[in-house]
Amino acid sequence: MNYDGDIIRPPSEADSIILQVTVGCSHNRCTFCGAYKDENKKFRIRTDEEIAENIAFAARYCTRQRKVFLADGDALILSQKRLVPLFARIRRELPQIRRISLYGNAKAIRSKTLEELRELKSLGLDRIYMGLESGDETILARIDKGETPASMISAGRKVAEAGIFLSVTVLLGLGGVELSRQHAEATGRVLTAMAPRQIAALTLMPLAGTPLGDAVENGSFQPPDPVAMLKELRRMLISINCDKVQFMANHASNYLPISGRLGRDKDAILAIIDRALDGGIALTPEAWRAL
C-alpha cells in the first residue's frame, strides 16, 4: 500500500484497511490543526490509477480485514461521480469488507444531497467522522472552521437521516480560559441537536507552527489548566441531552480517560470527574499526553 505522507485515522479504525483517496484536507485552515501542513500534504485527489493500485494490493494482502477507512482529511469531498464507482470497486475487489468509513466535514456533507448520502450508505458507507470542535459561534469563527452552529447541526442531521452512523469530535479547551463556560455549554447544546451515535472529546494540545500555537506562545490565548479542562468537560456533559450515544474522552490527549453510554452512564461519569476534581484520581501527567 503506498501513501503520501503520514496517515491520520480515528482510533476505532486501527484494524481497518486504510485507503488514501485524497491527500490532505480541502479546508486546511483550522487554527489549531497541524495535521496537513507539510508540503507533501497539499490537498489533492489521488488519481484513479493510484487508488486502483492500492485496492489491488489490499485484495491480495489484506484479505482478513473487514473494514475500510478512506483517508485523508475529508474524503467525502470527492464528487458523487467519483465516489460511486470507488465504492463499487471496493465491494467488487474486496468482497469481505463489511464497513466503509471516512472523515467528512460539514462542507463535504453539504455538498451531497440526502439521496446521494443514502446511495453511498447502500454501497457500504457505514460511518462518517465529523469534527464539530465547538458548538459556539464565536469560537468556530475564531478557529476559522468555516461553519456555524446551525450549519453543523444541519450537516449532522442529514447524515443521521441518511441512516449513516455519525461520530462527532469536540475539542476541550478551544475557547481558552476566557470562553471555557460558553464553549462547554454551547457544544453540549449543539451535540444534543445533532444527536450523533458517538461523541469523542479530545483535549487541546497547542501545536507549534499553527496560528493557535503561536497565540499561546505570544500570550494572546490562554488554554485552561488541567483542572479547568476537567470542569469544562463536566459542564459539557451536563449540557448534553442525548440518548444511546457512546461518549469517549479516552484519547491520549485527555487528562482523565473516561467512556460510557449517554444518558445511561452520565451520572457515573460525572461522579468519576468529581472524584478526580477532589484529588481522588490522578490526572494523566503532561508528558504522557499525545495527539
| Upstream peptide bond of 72 is cis (omega within 30 degrees of 0) | yes
- Measured CA to CA, the distance from residue 116 to residue 100 in angstroms comes to 16
Residue from 105, 134, 187, 253 binding ligand SF4 (CB under 6 A): 105
- Measured CA to CA, the distance from residue 125 to residue 43 in angstroms comes to 22
Q: C-beta of 64: minimal distance to ligand SF4 in Å? A: 30
Q: Does 131 bind ligand SF4 (CB under 6 A)?
A: yes
What are the Cα distances from residue 290, in Å, to 41, 84, 207?
A: 21, 36, 11
Alpha helices in 62-200 (DSSP H): 80-93, 106-110, 114-122, 137-142, 149-161, 180-194
Q: C-beta of 48: minimal distance to ligand SF4 in Å? A: 24
Q: Does 33 bind ligand SF4 (CB under 6 A)?
A: yes
Q: Does 111 bind ligand SF4 (CB under 6 A)?
A: no
Q: Does 51 bind ligand SF4 (CB under 6 A)?
A: no
What is the three-class DSSP state of 66? coil
- Identify which of 259, 247, 132, 154 has the alpha carbon closest to the alpha carbon of residue 197: 247
**What is the amino acid identity at position 98?**
R
Residues in a beta bridge with 69: 18, 101
DSSP conformation letters of 102-115: EE--HHHHHTS-HH
Q: C-beta of 27: minimal distance to ligand SF4 in Å? A: 4
Q: Does 132 bind ligand SF4 (CB under 6 A)?
A: no
Judged by beta carbon, residue 29 or residue 264, the one nearer ligand SF4 is 29
What is the three-class DSSP state of 156? helix
Judged by beta carbon, residue 62 or residue 248, the one nearer ligand SF4 is 248
Only one of the segments 26-34, 196-204, 212-220, 223-231 lies at the binding site for ligand SF4 (rule: CB under 6 A); that segment is 26-34
Site size with ligand SF4, rule: CB under 6 A: 10
Write out the binding residues for ligand SF4, residues 149-178 only, by CB under 6 A: none
Q: Does 27 bind ligand SF4 (CB under 6 A)?
A: yes
Phi-psi region of 146 (alpha: psi -120 to 50; beta: other; left: phi over 0): left
Write out the binding residues for ligand SF4, residues 54-93 only, by CB under 6 A: 73
Q: Does 35 bind ligand SF4 (CB under 6 A)?
A: yes
What cell was used for 231? 470542569
Q: Does 30 bind ligand SF4 (CB under 6 A)?
A: yes
Q: Does 31 bind ligand SF4 (CB under 6 A)?
A: no
Judged by beta carbon, residue 54 or residue 169, the one nearer ligand SF4 is 169
Q: C-beta of 45: minimal distance to ligand SF4 in Å? A: 15
What cell was used for 234? 463536566
- Measured CA to CA, the distance from residue 274 to residue 197 in angstroms comes to 25
Q: C-beta of 24: minimal distance to ligand SF4 in Å? A: 8
User: Which spans of this chain sit near ligand SF4 (rule: CB under 6 A)?
Assistant: 25, 27-30, 33, 35, 73, 105, 131
